[in-house]
């Protein structure tokens, strides 16, 4: 069988997903063939250029027309969050498998409707997955596996951060990510979603309550003359920034441990610094995206004279995903997670299983995001995260 893919959107995530769709079949023995059939965008000339450059057979400007086609099997949504729900629900109801970029939606209500549509579609053998690709960095999957094996004992504390600095310049234009109607929230949903999902993924626990504070440091920015995404030239006049620049919050995990989170676009000098450290009774594990081929491991059970954070180079063929790439010591990069995402999605479709993270897991992140917003609006009072369907359930 051939999975014919339509990608809706063609910004930064469109380029990263295109690399994944192209690289995965070249480097892994996938159980199904993949065809990069069509990429969809509003600007006909621009999306035709993207199709040409990234290797999509066709380009189109009407996503509704594309998801109605019988020769499309899977819809990959890489648009801003304000269109995730409409496109994903329509695609699922048309019987198409769906991969949807994070965060799942711009609101809990949208995420609930998407999760319900996915549950209905699952009864017809149609799958849906959320694009939290950092789970598929080999070192992060290894981190999850080691915790599940009890390597660091009982989890006692988690520290997670995602620090960027692309907004420190007040003249950075008012991109779509700074407008609530398009992005849903700012650093909280864009990068805070990643560390929330990663914390739930590596610990196997849910964030059940949060207390937090949101802050907008630069409240007005030059209107953007053209384009969208992370950058674009400044136009005439100024507009209101309607989302957070910084989100700092604490979560209580279902196993009882506290987790601290920082998501910011004002960490001057930090370009894309995601980190997570999990402390346990028998040791600790730490991952830094800026050193993404490594996992730091502290073993409290080792002889005292040998104790210290050791660097595991996660490039052995026995490490997750690595055997399809290069020999030990030849490193992977940011883009490889997008190929691993394709591998797991295509394999799940071929095997008739649910790929993770499911829309239900995406909904649990959305509910935690909303709880942080509610806490920040109520003097940072603790807010319980609405009970999600069990994270591993569909």
CB of 65 to ligand SOE, least distance (A): 28
Least distance between ligand SOE and beta carbon 1 (Å): 31
Residue 78 touching ligand SOE (CB under 6 A): no
End-to-end CA distance of the chain: 25
Give the nearer residue to ligand SOE in terms of CB position, either 162 or 298. 162
The distance of closest approach from Cβ of residue 272 to ligand SOE in the complex, given in angstroms and rounded to an integer, is 6
The distance of closest approach from Cβ of residue 343 to ligand SOE in the complex, given in angstroms and rounded to an integer, is 19
Among 191, 196, 360, 365, binds ligand SOE (CB under 6 A): 191
Number of residues that bind ligand SOE (CB under 6 A): 5
Between helices 359-376 and 193-203, what is the axis angle to 10°?
120
| 19 near ligand SOE, rule: CB under 6 A | no
For the chain, list the strands marked E by DSSP: 2-8, 33-40, 58-60, 74-77, 97-101, 128-131, 155-163, 207-215, 220-224, 234-240, 246-253, 258-264, 273-280, 283-288, 294-299, 310-313, 383-384
Q: Which residue, 324, 304, 306, is CA-closest to 315?
A: 324
User: CB 288 → ligand SOE: shortest distance, Å?
Assistant: 14
Residue given tokens 């699952």 in the structure block: 122
Contacting ligand SOE within 156-175 (CB under 6 A) = 164
Site string for ligand SOE, 115-154 (x = CB under 6 A): ----------------------------------------
Q: Which distant-in-sequence residues (6+ apart) come within 8 Å of 110 by Cβ? A: 84, 85, 104
Q: Does 284 bind ligand SOE (CB under 6 A)?
A: no
Task: Work out how close the CB of 191 gets to ligand SOE at its nearest, in angstroms, rounded to a whole number.
Answer: 5
In the complex, least distance from residue 171 CB atom to ligand SOE, rounded to whole angstroms: 18
The residue (of 73 and 101) whose beta carbon lies closer to ligand SOE is 101
132 or 359, CB closer to ligand SOE?
A: 132
Q: How far is the CB of 58 from ligand SOE (least distance, A)?
A: 26
Give the pairing type, strands 234-240 and 220-224. antiparallel
CA–CA separation, 304 and 285 (whole Å)? 18
For residue 65, count other CB atoms closer than 10 A to its CB: 11
Q: Closest CB to ligand SOE among 54 and 162?
A: 162
CB of 318 to ligand SOE, least distance (A): 27
Return phi, psi of residue 184, to 5°.
Answer: 85, -50
Among residues 286, 285, 288, the alpha carbon closest in space to that of 299 is found at: 285
Of 51, 49, 120, which Cα lies nearest the Cα of 91?
120
- CB nearer ligand SOE, residue 16 or residue 60: 16
Options 190, 197, 245, 262; binder of ligand SOE; rule CB under 6 A: 190
Contact between 86 and 362 (Cβ < 8 Å): no
Q: Identify which of residues 172 and 191 has a Cβ nearer to ligand SOE in the complex.
A: 191
323: tokens are 């055997």
Q: Residue 120 and residue 112: Cα distance in Å, rounded?
A: 12
Residue-wise over 27-57: b if at least 16 C-beta within 10 A, else e? Answer: ebebeeebbbbbbbbeeeeebbebbeebebe
What is the Cα–Cα distance from 227 to 374, expressed in whole angstroms? 32
Q: Give the nearer residue to ligand SOE in terms of CB position, either 164 or 388.
A: 164
Nearer to ligand SOE, 190 or 245 (CB): 190
Least distance (Å) from ligand SOE to the CB of residue 164? 6
Kindly state whether residue 100 participates in binding ligand SOE, applying the rule CB under 6 A: no
Q: CB 265 → ligand SOE: shortest distance, Å?
A: 7
Q: By C-beta, is 164 or 203 nearer to ligand SOE?
A: 164
Nearer to ligand SOE, 185 or 211 (CB): 185
Task: Supply 394's token pair.
Answer: 């569909």
Beta strands in 85-206 (DSSP E): 97-101, 128-131, 155-163
Residue nearest to ligand SOE according to CB distances in the complex = 190
Of 12, 309, 326, 382, the one binding ligand SOE by CB under 6 A: 12
Residue 96 vs 336, nearer CB to ligand SOE: 336
State the residues that interact with ligand SOE by CB under 6 A.
12, 164, 190-191, 272
């Amino acid at each position: 069988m051939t999975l014919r893919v339509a990608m809706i959107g063609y910004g930064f995530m469109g380029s990263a997903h295109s690399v994944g769709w192209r690289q995965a079949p070249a480097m892994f023995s996938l159980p199904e063939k993949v065809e990069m059939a069509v990429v969809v965008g509003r600007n006909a000339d621009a999306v035709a250029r993207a199709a040409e450059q990234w290797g999509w057979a066709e380009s189109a400007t009407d996503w509704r027309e594309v998801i109605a086609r019988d020769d499309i099997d899977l819809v990959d949504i890489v648009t801003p969050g304000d269109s995730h729900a409409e496109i994903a629900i329509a695609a699922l109801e048309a019987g198409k498998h769906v991969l949807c970029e994070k965060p799942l939606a711009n609101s809990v209500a949208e995420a609930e409707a998407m999760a319900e549509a996915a549950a209905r579609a699952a009864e017809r053998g149609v799958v849906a997955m959320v694009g939290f690709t950092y789970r598929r960095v080999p070192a992060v999957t290894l981190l999850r596996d080691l915790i599940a094996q009890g390597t660091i004992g009982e989890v006692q504390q988690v520290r997670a951060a995602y620090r960027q600095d692309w907004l420190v310049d007040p003249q950075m234009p008012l991109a779509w990510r700074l407008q609530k109607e398009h992005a849903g929230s700012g650093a909280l949903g864009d990068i805070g979603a990643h560390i929330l999902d990663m914390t739930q993924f590596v610990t196997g626990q849910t964030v059940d309550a949060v207390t937090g504070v949101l802050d907008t440091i630069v409240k007005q920015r030059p209107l953007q003359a053209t384009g969208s995404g992370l950058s674009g030239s400044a136009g005439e006049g100024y507009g209101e920034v309607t989302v957070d620049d910084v989100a700092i919050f604490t979560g209580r995990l279902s196993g009882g441990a506290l987790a601290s989170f920082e998501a910011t676009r004002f960490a001057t000098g930090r370009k894309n610094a995601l980190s997570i450290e999990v402390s346990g009774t028998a040791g600790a594990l730490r991952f830094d995206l800026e050193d993404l081929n490594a996992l730091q491991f502290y073993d409290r059970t080792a002889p005292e004279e040998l104790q210290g954070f050791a660097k595991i180079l996660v490039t052995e063929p026995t490490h997750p995903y690595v055997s399809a790439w290069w020999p030990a010591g030849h490193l992977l990069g940011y883009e490889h997670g997008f190929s691993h995402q394709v591998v797991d999605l295509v394999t799940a479709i071929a095997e008739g299983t649910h790929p993770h993270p499911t829309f239900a897991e995406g909904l649990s992140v959305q509910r935690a995001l909303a709880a942080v917003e509610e806490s920040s609006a109520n003097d940072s009072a603790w807010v319980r995260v609405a009970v999600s369907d069990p994270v591993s359930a569909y």
